[in-house]
Amino acid sequence: MRKWMGLGVFWVGCGSAILSPTKDGDATDEESIDTAASDTDEAGDDGSGEEEPAPLENPTIQYASAVCREGTVGLWQLSLVADDPQGIQTVTGGATCEIYPVGSTDDGVIHAIDMSCDENGRCGQNYNGEDENVLCSDATSWEFHFMIMDEDGYLSTVEVVVGSVD
């Protein structure tokens, strides 16, 4: 009998459920205590008394393009379409596009452009690249780094697009 009691104490000590007896002497799990489940709750409490932070709700760029208009020296049409888990209406503030030579962000940005966005998460801006020599003749030599921020200050990841000619 002592062997079984020792095994029962060991078993209970290892975090298994404690079963309370019923009227007829059989154990039931209706009133069991699960020590693993008591360490956390649905609100995100990790047992330390502090709630875990809510996941970031960053906007995402669904589509981005940088197209130099054929027949021009350096007229670029920049566009992007964004989405936001908090609602598309939160991305109307604007987006940015930074231009770099392909594969080289170390030398600094060639030009930065602020893009305006509408209530549907569509952003666009025309850019004349002649002053900075961002020309259609070497369109694939340029990277366009798009990013958008929602009204709550959350930033998207950078979407990099190589220029093309239309």
- Whether the pLDDT of residue 133 is over 50: the answer is yes
Could you count the other beta carbons within 10 Å of the beta carbon of residue 79?
19
> Residue 156's closest CA among 99, 101, 90?
90
Q: How far is CA 67 from CA 49, 64, 122, 136, 153, in A?
A: 53, 10, 16, 9, 28
pTM over 0.85: no
The answer on pLDDT for 84 being more than 60 is yes
User: Under DSSP, is residue 62 helix (H, G, I), strand (E, B) or coil?
Assistant: strand
- Please state the φ and ψ torsions of residue 37, each to the nearest 5 degrees: -75, -25
Q: Where are the domains of the chain?
A: 1-53, 60-165
Q: Is 9 helix (H, G, I), strand (E, B) or coil?
A: helix
Mean pLDDT of the chain: 78
Which superfamily does 60-165 belong to? Macroglobulin (MG2) domain (2.60.40.1930)
Residue 166 has pLDDT above 50, yes or no: yes
**What is the Cα–Cα distance from 48 to 20, expressed in whole angstroms?**
29
Sorting pLDDT into bands at 50, 70 and 90, what band is 102?
Answer: very high
